[in-house]
Each structure stands twice: as C-alpha cells, then as structure tokens.
Amino acid sequence: MNKALRKAVIAGNWKMNKTPCEARELLEAIKPLVQNAKCDVVACVPFVDLQTALDATAGSNIGIGAENCHWEASGAYTGEISAPMLKAMSVPYVIIGHSERRTYFGETDVTVNKRVRAALDNGLTVILCVGEYLEQREQGITGEVVALQTKIALQGVSADELKRVIIAYEPVWAIGTGKTATAEQANEVCALIRSTVAGLYSWAAANALTIQYGGSMNAQNAAELLDQPDVDGGLIGGASLKPADFAEIVKAASR
Ligand code: PEP
C-alpha cells in the first residue's frame, strides 16, 4: 500500500486565536489526549504564541509551527517575520500559502514560492496550502488551478527538499464554512496533486509525499476523509481549538 509509505500528519491551524496564556492552556489540554498518537501531531499558532507553545510542548509528541514567514531574511518589511527568525527559535513547521493569506493579504503563487524557498533554506518543514475557489470548481477547472498552484509553489525545490514539504489540499469553499468536500472529492484532488508532483519529480517522491485535506474537517467526518487512499492527514482550523475534537481527529488518523 502506497499509503503505508507516508507519514500521516494532523496539523492544527489556530489562525488569529489565543493569547500566550490561552495557548498554554489549550496545549496542556491537548497533550494528554494525543500522547499515544500513531501519526505526527502539529499545532500552528500565532507568532506571539510560538515561544509559549514550544515551552508547553517540550518533550511531548506535538510539533509547533508558525502560520507564515517572509521570503527575505531581514529588512524593511514592517509586520513580517522571517524564516531565519523561526529557525532561531527552533520552530520546526510553517504554513505557507493559506487561502486566507491569498484572499485577504494579496499572496500570489509567486510570493508563495518565494516563502516556500526561504522556509526550506532555513531548515523548516513547510505545510503548503493549495485549493480552488467555489467559482473555479463550478467552472470545472479545479484540477488546472490546483496543479498550477502546486507547480509554481514548488519551483526551485529539489527532490531532497521536497521531503520537508507537506501539501494541504484546502478547497477555499470548505474552509471555516462547515461545508466539507466529500471523501471522493478530497481524494480525487489529493490524487491529482500527487500525480502533478510525480510529473515534476518522480513517482517515488510523490508516493512519499504527505498530502493533507483541510476544510471543515471535524471529529465526525475525519475518519471517512482520512480513510481515502490519497489523503494522508488533515489541516484543521476550527476543530483544532477544541481539545476533544482535535484528539478524535488524531485518533482517526492513528488507525
Ligand atoms: C484551515 O484554516 O486551514 C481550515 C481548514 O479551517 P477549518 O477547519 O475551520 O475549515
């Protein structure tokens, strides 16, 4: 089974939620519930929570991630955080290209690629988000959109560096809306991303790549989505803020 070649990864995306104090409380609640996970568990948190989150999870099986990073190492980019800054804090993961960054903050495929490159150059593992808008799905161009986003984001990324990339397929219409892609829709696009990566690298590289689904995944629908042959994990927004629900999703990925 190709699925056995890949690591299942369940990652929370906390978005703009939780102060450092609240972050510590949430992680303390999650820790015992996921300690026996047979998948990788990650919490991507706001920048101001990173140190608290690293301290709170030290010695546990929870990896910590940031939600973005800039492509330059330093300079006049008010409000941005660089990949070397994350590296200096020993933050292992970073989300790049989330649809909320693309929609509200002008991220393009080109800036996503620059951020991916900077993150990889600094030893981080990237959770790269791709996904179509509802209009694009209705126009029947989901495959083209997602393949193009994947190809541009991975420009200049070597096969060796690809081992530190996780791709999250996140249909924009399913994020934070309570509308989930069906298991078949999720699997179809994850498989398409995998064959796009195979075209860029090789099937060996593509079969080793962890591809997550994200978009209103919750305790109820996780098992069916995660049972799909090309869905290797989840990027979880809302449900990652609820310890019991997040733990249920981790359990579903641990089967
Ligand atoms: C996300 O933020 O990546 C996400 C999938 O959010 P939600 O689970 O809330 O739809």
Per-residue pLDDT at 4: 85
Dihedrals φ, ψ of 153, to 5°? -60, -30
- 188 belongs to the catalytic site: no
pLDDT digit string (tens) for 128-163?
Answer: 999 999 999 999 999 999 999 999 999 999 999 999
Q: Which of 193, 181, 248 is nearest to 10 (CA)?
A: 248
Percent of the chain with pLDDT over 70: 100
Per-residue pLDDT at 1: 59
The annotation status of 202 as a binding-site residue, yes or no, is no
> How far is 202 from 197, CA to CA, in rounded Å?
7
Whether this prediction's pTM lies above 0.75 is answered by yes
Question: Domain limits of the chain?
Answer: 3-253
> How far is 128 from 208, CA to CA, in rounded Å?
16
Q: Are 214 and 175 in contact (CB under 8 A)?
A: yes
Per-residue pLDDT at 27: 98
Successive 10-residue mean pLDDT values, the chain, 255 residues = 87 98 98 98 98 98 98 98 98 98 97 98 98 96 98 98 98 91 97 98 97 97 97 98 98 93
Pocket test for ligand 1, best of 236, 240, 241, 249 (most atoms within 8 A of CB): 236
pLDDT digit string (tens) for 187-219?
Answer: 999 999 999 999 999 999 999 999 999 999 999
Dihedrals φ, ψ of 129, to 5°? -95, 135
> Residue type at 12?
G
Task: Tokens 């860029």: give the residue.
Answer: 200
Per-residue pLDDT at 179: 87
Q: Ligand 1: distance of its center to the CA of 13 in Å?
A: 7
> How far is 120 from 83, CA to CA, in rounded Å?
9
Burial of 51 (0-12, 13-18, 19+ CB in 10 A): middle
CATH architecture of 3-253: Alpha-Beta Barrel (3.20)
Q: Are 161 and 126 in contact (CB under 8 A)?
A: no
**What residues does ligand 1 touch, defined as CB less than 6 Å away?**
13, 15, 170, 175-176, 214-217, 235-239
- Kindly report each contact of residues 181-185 with a partner whose C-beta sits within 8 Å and lies 24 or more positions away, as own/partner: 181/213, 181/215, 181/225, 183/224, 183/225, 183/227, 183/228, 183/231, 184/228
Q: Which 8-state DSSP code applies to residue 40?
A: E
Per-residue pLDDT at 178: 87
